[in-house]
Structure 1
């Protein structure tokens, strides 16, 4: 996590950096002071103090500052964030307001992580980062939901999705069980998902893979084997799980787990790099 500040009008273009899937980053930008415009792939967002946005390091982007500005940059592994979110690809250059709700909590946690990094143990740092990622994921999801038109079919879809989410470990989970629980026909269940361009089985597999992705990146579950995690979330064949995981995330479960733990430690070290805070910049981190 790095702090940048500027007291002059500036415009910067950041060219695409050719990285492989393991090094590609999701840049989380938190605005600490001033008004700043960020653009990527034809999308433009304007941030003021407290706001947050996401940028894909694998694509060109720009930043336009009109005066006294300061912001925090946090680089997170793209494949890690992609697995955390309900959305693919990650929504870029979209403003997450820090004026109220979870956005306010996200901003407070961002600045607190930066201020208190030196006082956190490795375990505390890992827990703080995990909390930050969960809130960030929720904020991104809320932002995406706000941009969608919510109708009756969407309400039913969300009810079904909630049921699936709470029954993922059930190996018998499928259209028949879902239809019975929702009080609708099996055909209706299939129709709800066909409007999303996927089958019921596709959705269940997707959610199971993302839960496995989350657990495999959690250092607190290091004592659980990959097979145990996969079977807990409803898979019943290790080879099939490995193939599905690699097809979804572009990396096999074992290699992903190794990188995820290393990235967790790396993020912790980045947060602990407190030396970039000069005395004149500390004011940006004080509550307004």
Structure 2
């Protein structure tokens, strides 16, 4: 992600003024900011463009932000904004509703109508993710989506957990994304946002089949990741957990260049590889690591690991400890 502003790099007396200037002049929907302790203010914004979707990681000292009718008349990009809370408490008021957002909650609001955002009720800095997107991105009627403004949406379960997990990995990742990567990530995020809002509107039936399929695939991936240590994990158990047939599940994976069983095995091998390279697990026997991730037969694990990474588990651990770089072909 690209650093947009970081007040820690500025003289103390310039920090809040710089933040205020940025929020009033540089953001897509200008806002006025007030702060009870401008001299102690700290704030930072990092962002990434994913095509039509813009994502920012924002951290700031306690403050209040306002978007007034006058500001809307001066500039209105007509965008939805989804605030995902990672730390602290935030309240967002719009359309005569007020949502108090706790960590892992999400709140939707719109640039075209006045709103107020208050952060840092406990006097601590808040951290969150801001997703900005046009209404035309969603295959849902905007007037229906607006029913959800200033309403707390949970990011702890169901599709909400997929959205929050995706955003958390996106802002914490160190990868440099190319243009095609960002476009693909934007498509995935748009599908997740559509599924989240449709769920809360009970409008799942209106989703395009391709959107439903992509969201289902993401749900399946997340389910598999959570159950990799379960030896009973199989295409049949995955299909049953999602209310689809095994045949439908296999058809869903045709875009993955791997069968369901192959994808499960690859993810388990990756967990083993990570554990073998973890210094904290240096004393754990290799067969115990393999068994943890459902490879109960040591000889079979060694053959499978060697075929995937071009080196056996013992040699991989030895080289990793000695600092040698490895190039595998998984």
Bin of the TM-score, shorter chain as denominator length: 0.3 to 0.5
Give the strand-richer structure, 1 or 2: 2
Scaled by the length of structure 2, the TM-score of the pair is 0.40
Asked which structure has the greater CA Rg, the reply is 2
TM-score normalised by structure 1 residue count: 0.46
